[in-house]
A and B are shown apart, each in its own frame.
Chain A
Amino acid sequence: MAASILRRSLLAPRCRAGDVAALHSGPSRRRAQGLGPIASGRRAGNSPAGERGVAPWVAVVGLEIHAQISSNSKLFSGSQVQFAAPPNSLVSFFDASLPGTLPALNRRCVEAAVMTGLALNCSINKKSLFDRKHYFYADLPAGYQITQQRLPVAVNGSLSYSLCVGGKKNQMVTRTVRIKQIQLEQDSGKSLHDDTRSQTLIDLNRADVGLMEVVMEPDMSSGEEAAAAVRELQLILQTLGSSQAIMAEGQLRVDANVSVHHPGEAYGVRTEVKNINSARFLARAIDYEIQRQIKELENGGTVMNETRAFDYKLGCTIPMRDKEGKQDYRFMPEPNLPPLILYDTKSLPANMNHQQVVNIDWIRERLPDLPSVRRVKLVEQYGILPEHSFTLLNEDGLMEFFENVVRQTPMNPRKLIGWILNDMLGYLKQHNLTVKESPVSSLFLADLLNLLEKGTISSSAAKQVLEELWKGEEKTPLQIVKEKKLELIQDQQELEQICQAVMEGHQEEVMEIKKGNQKVLNKLIGLVQRTTRGRADPVLVKQILEKRLSQ
């Protein structure tokens, strides 16, 4: 099917002048600290809250998250699902809503939703229903979306997530957000607006791809919390394999409901910030909206119940003249789909074809370890700090990398983790690389750490080797050590001579130490290391220097 072409009728969202101004001249944005009240810029800056007797503001954030189900075929048709396929190349007659076509539910999508529901501690509804949600939009060919409005597949769950708090962000706290429901629904197609020719091009490849809408109760109070909750959800989905949850590919899309109020008062009017499709901007978009509402209210304005979009270029939310607005979706039951019936081992009818039923217990038994469990195991097994376990899981593939290295070296994992998190991850971040793209394999890193562990090289020499390894040449750490002559100086006499020479060259420091200023000793050790290009064993050097200084 050729892409349909029509004139564009929606206005491109633009930041209003006021919004842009607010961004630049508004109160300095502060991160809301946990559940604590947020001090508005003005109150914090100009007049102390205590003097005015006005309570600070509290923000309330709820999320609706659409996760694309990882499945070979679509929710109600047999079309393939594939990211970035040529436009309209994956469109069945049903996806294009040809008259007379009917939906046939994809079992894999149901299983993914059940799996996700179980992982989020939901009760799974053994009977759920499908509804039609109506609105006219060019990328919604049927004029309605099939969703689960009345009786969704999973309800009443919870998600625990952790984040760093405190001034130095060094304290981990765990919070819980309630999951209201998880519903199965169809994705829409995509509209591509061609402004110059004032046309809209429609790509239906995405139409009817299965989505899970995860509705989180407004239990969060800042962008940071929301971002942490979304990140945890993303990890869970990826662990389950129920969604690839790659935000950049639109597999995880977040809408945030945001309002502010004074403690003890009723919740404020909320706005919906739509389509936050970037992990990076999630917290910023929500915090911006919180601050915008506070500012609006403090200036005597009101917050309108509206839908806003986050413009990541301008860094602000802007009102959408959206397709939905004050629309009445005219929900009605989807008559072409019978109720979705799920079974557990107890209710499973004996004569039922197992290919055609979904058994909740069967899925529950096969759930993989969730991130929270993996973290606990990491801490217990390797003795690393809890926050390290978070980092290991947060970076895709890092935990596996870590465990591979651990397996190949006798080095204590608690020591080893520093190399992974500081040296390796630092480098990768700096160069915008993923763990999978790392030029240093787990094998080479283990080799290197083995050299260190065996006392062949010093840790500063190891760092030099690592610098070489980043170049991604096929040299082994040992080859590099040999080429650069980085082995520790084993000859005690040679080392004694070098120490002697350093002392002679730095009489002032020697005097200082002799006067009792032991700190200066480190400087001397450093000087020895510089002279030996890191080839001296620092423990040995210290012993020699101390011995000679006391003579």
Chain B
Amino acid sequence: MLRVSLSEISAALKEGRVSPTELCQRCLSFIKATKFLNAYITIAEDTALKQAEESEERYRRGQILGDLDGIPVAVKDNFNTAGIETTCASNMLKGYIPPYSATVVQKLLDQGAVLLGKTNLDEFAMGSGSTDGIFGPVRNPWSYSRQYREKCVQNSHTENEDSNWLVTGGSSGGSAAAVSSFTCFAALGSDTGGSTRNPAAHCGVVGLKPTYGLISRHGLIPLVNSMDVPGILTRCVDDAAIVLGVLAGHDPKDSTTVQDPFKPFELTSFIDASKLCIGIPKEYHAPGLSSETLALWSKAADLFENAGAKVIEVSLPHTRYSIICYHVLCTAEVASNMARFDGLEYGHRSSMDKSTEVMYAATRREGFNDVVRGRILSGNYFLLKQNYETYFIKAQKVRRLIANDFVNVFRSGIDVLLTPTTLSDTIPYVEFIKEDNRTRSAQDDIFTQAANMAGLPAITVPTALSEKGLPIGLQFIGRAFQEQQLLTVAKWFENQVKFPMIQLQGMMDHGHTVCHHQKSAFFS
């Protein structure tokens, strides 16, 4: 039952085939059973059960709050949740219980959703593996899938079964793992350079990064304010549309949200592909792109073309500067955003208190990991008066060029861009940590980051399994605030590719580990 989609479980709740409490309890016990994935930092068992009971009462009275009523969800641990510890996977905020909830969290709760817990991430969302938080790395559920295990055995370089587990990608790896391993029906991530789409692709789930300004950031502990967007992770595109409908809209507490009212939409299953124009940006044919992913990408293009769509190669010439540009803008905002963590008002405070300055320094040294401190250092360097023009202003100008590339492409008649989400399928943890966080982030965000630079909506759709039996996702980038068009295309694509469901071994409580699924029609 846990493996169905959000809309299916919503229907089951409405029809009384399952009660919110029962559903919540099942999820909670499955979270415990999959604890080794380390997807959750905090399990809010008590409040979740209470919310489920309240939901049950509403169902009993026939007064449900909306489509999310009674549906278990998870939230990345960089969103404030009133009364529930919010850590950002950092010593700095360990034990911090915020007095308010992020607008998106509140909107979920107002719809009757049941908040199961807070999901793991890289410290302050700085990373692309979900490996660099104080609570340890998140394990990709696909490490334990029949699909992967079988291939591993075939390749037979598994001496120790456990050492081969895979990273989820990041930084919203906990949320991706939670959705992928069926412990919740939807999860919130955040997406600054690809932090929602990257782990979604690696975990075989849908990851949506909405247009900047469509969803409130109030209560999201920022990484880069000008690029952060709350992300949505679900099992299918329809579910993402449902959650988007709940979250989108102006928030007076976030001045960067647009005032235009947002109308929730339902996606149609049929599109007239002949009216569709798909752009294939040639610059995304980047070094390091695996031949498998490349092949899949080109197959996907053919799929659209065969359906009658116009598929055109386009150019986004400045995308290649995206990573370096991002490095400057990201670290500068990080340096600024992290300045508030001084140990005075909240969070960690060092016991070294000889003077205010000593206390500041010790607090920040003890509270932040190397990655965060490194970014603060470079960010402050870029913001120095003598460097500001050379780095920050220049990076802003480059950002404008990157954004203009998209404007030009969309102006030329392209509806949606089709690109890879990641260079390849995911890799084992032991491989991943051979490179440092900075190198990894630079590599892994390569296809996702430009959308953040330009503020555009983008979605990754799980497309097929690699030779190793691991998910590969492809990304669609849409016009600003044209989520409906973007998701409609994504849903059509999703229907075509029939991505196989993960077959988890030895994790399901009732032993029915292998389900019968259609074999992927697309990847064969």
Q: Could you mark each residue 148-192 of chain B with 1 if its beta carbon is under 8 Å from any beta carbon of chain A, else 0?
A: 000000000000000000000000000000000000000000000
Are A330 and B98 in contact, CB atoms less than 8 angstroms apart? no
| CB nearest to A97 among chain B residues | B340
Are B345 and A141 in contact, CB atoms less than 8 angstroms apart? yes
> Residue B370 at the A interface, CB < 8 A?
no
Q: Contacts A103-B255, A330-B383; is A96 near B356 (CB within 8 Å)?
A: no
Q: Contacts A98-B345, A99-B93, A338-B256; is A330 near B380 (CB within 8 Å)?
A: yes
- Residues of A358-406 contacting chain B, CB below 8 A: none
Listed residue (B99, B225, B332, B342) with the most chain A CB atoms within 10 angstroms of its CB:
B342
Cα–Cα, bound, A144→B360 (Å): 15
Cα–Cα, bound, A336→B226 (Å): 7
Question: Which B residues are in CB contact (< 8 Å) with A104?
Answer: 252-255
- Residues of A1-39 contacting chain B, CB below 8 A: 1, 4, 6-9
Q: Contacts A1-B345, A100-B102, A102-B254; is A144 near B356 (CB within 8 Å)?
A: no
Cα–Cα, bound, A200→B355 (Å): 10
Are A335 and B333 in contact, CB atoms less than 8 angstroms apart? yes
> Residue A263 at the B interface, CB < 8 A?
no
Question: Which A residues are in CB contact (< 8 Å) with B462?
Answer: none
- Residues of B225-265 contacting chain A, CB below 8 A: 225-226, 252-256
> Residue B220 at the A interface, CB < 8 A?
yes
Q: Could you mark each residue 328-355 of chain B with 1 if its beta carbon is under 8 Å from any beta carbon of chain A, else 0?
A: 0000110110111110111000000111
Cα–Cα, bound, A338→B254 (Å): 10
> Residue A142 at the B interface, CB < 8 A?
yes
Question: Which A residues are in CB contact (< 8 Å) with B354?
Answer: 7
> Residue A138 at the B interface, CB < 8 A?
yes
Question: Which B residues are in CB contact (< 8 Å) with A332?
Answer: 332-333, 336, 383, 388, 392
| CB nearest to B359 among chain A residues | A6
> Residue B384 at the A interface, CB < 8 A?
yes
> Residue B516 at the A interface, CB < 8 A?
no
Cα–Cα, bound, A105→B359 (Å): 33
What's the least CB distance linking A357 to chain B, in Å?
12
Question: Which B residues are in CB contact (< 8 Å) with A9?
Answer: 355-358
Are B383 and A4 in contact, CB atoms less than 8 angstroms apart? no
Are B336 and A132 in contact, CB atoms less than 8 angstroms apart? yes
Cα–Cα, bound, A200→B344 (Å): 11
> Residue A427 at the B interface, CB < 8 A?
no
What's the least CB distance linking A105 to chain B, in Å?
7
Q: Give how many A-B residue pairs fall within 8 Å (CB-CB).
A: 120
Q: Could you say which of A101, A105, A132 contacts B255, with CB atoms under 8 Å apart?
A: A105
| CB nearest to A92 among chain B residues | B100
What's the least CB distance linking A66 to chain B, in Å?
22
Cα–Cα, bound, A531→B61 (Å): 100
Listed residue (B339, B345, B355) with the most chain A CB atoms within 10 angstroms of its CB:
B345
- Residues of A387-445 contacting chain B, CB below 8 A: none
Cα–Cα, bound, A97→B342 (Å): 11
Q: Could you mark each residue 28-54 of chain A with 1 if its beta carbon is under 8 Å from any beta carbon of chain B, else 0?
A: 000000000000000000000000000
> Residue A202 at the B interface, CB < 8 A?
yes
- Residues of A66-114 contacting chain B, CB below 8 A: 93, 96-105
Cα–Cα, bound, A330→B383 (Å): 5
Cα–Cα, bound, A138→B349 (Å): 13
> Residue B218 at the A interface, CB < 8 A?
yes
Q: Could you say which of A136, A337, A338 contacts B342, with CB atoms under 8 Å apart?
A: A136
What's the least CB distance linking A339 to chain B, in Å?
11
Cα–Cα, bound, A96→B344 (Å): 10
> Residue B275 at the A interface, CB < 8 A?
no
Are A6 and B344 in contact, CB atoms less than 8 angstroms apart? yes
Q: Contacts A6-B359, A330-B384; is A134 near B339 (CB within 8 Å)?
A: yes
> Residue B117 at the A interface, CB < 8 A?
no
Q: Could you say which of A202, A330, A336 contacts B225, with CB atoms under 8 Å apart?
A: A336
Are B360 and A136 in contact, CB atoms less than 8 angstroms apart? yes
| CB nearest to B358 among chain A residues | A9
Are A99 and B225 in contact, CB atoms less than 8 angstroms apart? no
Are B256 and A336 in contact, CB atoms less than 8 angstroms apart? yes
Cα–Cα, bound, A104→B86 (Å): 23
| CB nearest to A4 among chain B residues | B344
| CB nearest to B101 among chain A residues | A100
Question: Which B residues are in CB contact (< 8 Å) with A328?
Answer: 384-385
- Tally B residues with Cβ within 8 Å of A: 49
Cα–Cα, bound, A93→B103 (Å): 14
Cα–Cα, bound, A98→B99 (Å): 9
Cα–Cα, bound, A330→B388 (Å): 8
Cα–Cα, bound, A144→B255 (Å): 19
> Residue B207 at the A interface, CB < 8 A?
no
Question: Which A residues are in CB contact (< 8 Å) with B344?
Answer: 4, 6, 138, 141, 202
Are A6 and B384 in contact, CB atoms less than 8 angstroms apart? no
Question: Which A residues are in CB contact (< 8 Å) with B254?
Answer: 102, 104, 336
| CB nearest to A141 among chain B residues | B345
> Residue B221 at the A interface, CB < 8 A?
yes
Cα–Cα, bound, A1→B346 (Å): 10
What's the least CB distance linking A464 to chain B, in Å?
63
> Residue A281 at the B interface, CB < 8 A?
no
| CB nearest to A6 among chain B residues | B356
Cα–Cα, bound, A134→B334 (Å): 13
> Residue A331 at the B interface, CB < 8 A?
yes
> Residue B217 at the A interface, CB < 8 A?
yes
Cα–Cα, bound, A338→B384 (Å): 23
Cα–Cα, bound, A7→B352 (Å): 11
Cα–Cα, bound, A134→B226 (Å): 18
Q: Could you say which of B222, B388, B392 contacts A100, with CB atoms under 8 Å apart?
A: B222
- Residues of B56-113 contacting chain A, CB below 8 A: 79-80, 86, 88, 93, 98-100, 102
| CB nearest to A135 among chain B residues | B339
Question: Which A residues are in CB contact (< 8 Å) with B388?
Answer: 330-332
Are B333 and A102 in contact, CB atoms less than 8 angstroms apart? no
> Residue B219 at the A interface, CB < 8 A?
yes
> Residue A349 at the B interface, CB < 8 A?
no
Question: Which A residues are in CB contact (< 8 Å) with B383?
Answer: 134, 330-332
Cα–Cα, bound, A99→B100 (Å): 10
Q: Contacts A142-B339, A336-B256; is A100 near B219 (CB within 8 Å)?
A: yes
- Residues of A126-160 contacting chain B, CB below 8 A: 132, 134, 136, 138, 141-144
Question: Which A residues are in CB contact (< 8 Å) with B79?
Answer: 100
Question: Which A residues are in CB contact (< 8 Å) with B392?
Answer: 332
Question: Which B residues are in CB contact (< 8 Å) with A329?
Answer: 385
Q: Contacts A99-B340, A102-B218; is A336 near B255 (CB within 8 Å)?
A: yes
What's the least CB distance linking A110 to chain B, in Å?
13
| CB nearest to B92 among chain A residues | A99
| CB nearest to B227 among chain A residues | A335
What's the least CB distance linking A29 to chain B, in Å?
38
Top-8 shortest CB links A-B: A143-B339, A9-B355, A330-B383, A335-B225, A335-B226, A9-B356, A99-B221, A97-B340
What are 15 A-B interface contacts by the 8 Å CB criterion? A6-B356, A9-B358, A96-B345, A97-B345, A99-B341, A102-B255, A104-B253, A132-B336, A141-B340, A143-B340, A332-B392, A335-B256, A336-B225, A336-B255, A337-B256
B-to-A contact residues, CB < 8 Å = 79-80, 86, 88, 93, 98-100, 102, 217-222, 224-226, 252-256, 332-333, 335-336, 338-342, 344-346, 353-360, 380, 383-385, 388, 392
- Supplied contacts A4-B345, A336-B225, 5 more A-B pairs, CB within 8 Å: A96-B346, A99-B80, A104-B254, A134-B383, A338-B255
